[in-house]
């Protein structure tokens, strides 16, 4: 466990999982569950697993294992039992009754983490919506988990407008959900207006995607540090699952008017709860509307191939798998003495933390997003100074000459600008 969290630990837990053979990396998934608990300031005291051909319909595990869990929980003074798979309302209720301790599943744990991390009003609306949708059919079974001792300022027992009173009933939750959905529609509309405004500027949008804790925020900060030199624009980066949640958008000024917008949003994870994908739909639209995706992979993680598959699955669900992509094998310095850097136009090995390979990555991004740019020779009359200003601000000026009848500009600009200002085109070099 991260030593920085020892003084922050608020609860002790036993993790429980069933191995049906459906997942070849079951042990790794249980280790990830422990990291999720750690991110929620919960200390894992023990791990209990069971091999079954299928999940027990009413208890998740066998009745004998339930008794074993109960005995271990009492002996180790456990605060809560965390189950790997999403529990049905009946399973949650039965386990709560038979074990006599608060029970939660992986989905509730992730929702709890999201609630702690959400800072913007948009993210808070999205998280609360997802949590209430999850809570609604499980209200009875969640009673003890919602009131478990030791909750901190971000726990399910102390935050969330729909959860502060245990007397919550379905009617009140549905009323709250109606309000939240209305608010989220306004959020989605606002985001769409901003997207349309951004599209008119013709500044390419590049989106960071990837498994949680792969290093997306570190790459964003490296770009800010190198090209913006503004520490106030940086975001939190920490070696922890879902350390950051809110969407961040920064304009990266690399020079020669080859600026691009770089966005970072919530990281993906194996079986990301559907309620979260649905609630964060407007946020994740940033990914769907990107001109280029930067798929960040933690190359030092033994499970990075599985993480790649999980990320691609989520991108498919979002309808974003068709977008051009550069795969960044980050943290290569942890397992390679001689980093090879760029392998081809779509792959690079690098270390965002040490900045090794960062300039190469930026060149790769430019080659991708400015592929639609062409060289254009323009003659712009002095009376149309606004046109000249447009190209000086939005294109790469290769030559500028002041002639008797106007300004001669040789620029690299987007094809759309060439078509829009065809009247001024002198010579086109394809």
| C-alpha angle 396-367-287 in degrees, rounded to nearest 5 | 105
Angle CA 145–149–151, to nearest 5: 85
pLDDT at 163: 46
Beta bridge partners of 246: none
Two tokens, residue 70: 């109960």
CA separation for the pair 342, 329 (Å, rounded): 10
Low-confidence ranges of the chain (pLDDT < 70): 1-9, 140-168, 198-202, 279, 282-283, 427-430
**pLDDT for res 398:** 86
Q: Are 130 and 278 in contact (CB under 8 A)?
A: yes
Rg of the chain's alpha carbons, rounded to an integer? 26
C-alpha pair distances (Å), 161 with each of 27, 109, 135, 165: 37, 18, 13, 9
| Most distant pair of Cα atoms in the chain: their distance | 93
pLDDT of residue 148: 53
């Amino acid at each position: 466990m991260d030593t920085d969290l020892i003084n922050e630990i608020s609860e002790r837990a036993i993790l429980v999982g069933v191995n049906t053979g459906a997942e070849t990396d079951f042990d790794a998934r249980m280790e990830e569950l422990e990291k999720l608990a750690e991110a929620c300031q919960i200390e894992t005291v023990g791990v209990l697993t069971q091999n079954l051909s299928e999940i027990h319909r009413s208890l998740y595990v066998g009745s004998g294992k339930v008794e074993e869990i109960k005995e271990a929980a009492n002996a180790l003074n456990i605060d809560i039992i965390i189950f790997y798979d999403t529990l049905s309302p009946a399973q949650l209720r039965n386990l709560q009754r038979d074990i006599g301790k608060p029970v939660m599943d992986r989905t509730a744990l992730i929702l709890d983490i999201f609630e702690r991390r959400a800072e913007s009003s948009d993210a808070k609306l999205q998280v609360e919506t997802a949590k209430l949708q999850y809570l609604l059919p499980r209200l009875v079974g969640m009673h003890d988990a919602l009131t478990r001792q030791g909750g901190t300022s971000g726990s399910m027992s102390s935050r969330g407008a729909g959860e502060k009173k245990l007397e919550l009933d379905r009617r009140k939750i549905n009323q709250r959900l109606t309000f939240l959905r209305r608010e989220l529609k306004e959020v989605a509309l606002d985001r769409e207006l901003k997207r349309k405004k951004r599209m008119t500027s013709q500044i390419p949008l590049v989106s960071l995607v990837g498994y949680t804790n792969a290093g997306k925020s570190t790459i964003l900060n490296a770009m800010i540090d190198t090209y913006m030199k503004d520490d106030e624009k940086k975001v939190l980066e920490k070696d922890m699952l879902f350390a950051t949640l809110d969407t961040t958008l920064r304009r990266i000024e690399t020079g020669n008017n080859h600026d691009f917008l770089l966005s970072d949003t919530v990281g993906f994870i194996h079986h990301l709860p559907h309620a979260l994908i649905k609630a964060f739909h407007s946020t994740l639209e940033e990914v769907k509307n990107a001109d280029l995706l930067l798929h960040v992979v933690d190359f030092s993680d033994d499970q990075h191939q599985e993480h790649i598959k999980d990320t691609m699955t989520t991108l498919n669900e979002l309808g974003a798998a068709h977008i051009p992509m550069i795969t960044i094998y980050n943290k290569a310095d942890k397992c390679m003495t001689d980093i090879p850097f760029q392998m081809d136009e779509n792959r690079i090995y690098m270390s965002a933390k040490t900045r090794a390979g960062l300039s190469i990555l930026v060149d790769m991004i430019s080659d991708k997003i400015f592929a639609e740019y062409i060289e254009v020779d323009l003659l712009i009359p002095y009376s149309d100074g606004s046109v000249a200003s447009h190209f000086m601000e939005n294109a790469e000026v290769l030559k500028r000459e002041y002639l008797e009848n106007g300004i001669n500009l040789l620029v690299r600009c987007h094809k759309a600008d060439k078509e829009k200002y065809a009247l001024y085109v002198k010579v086109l070099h394809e």
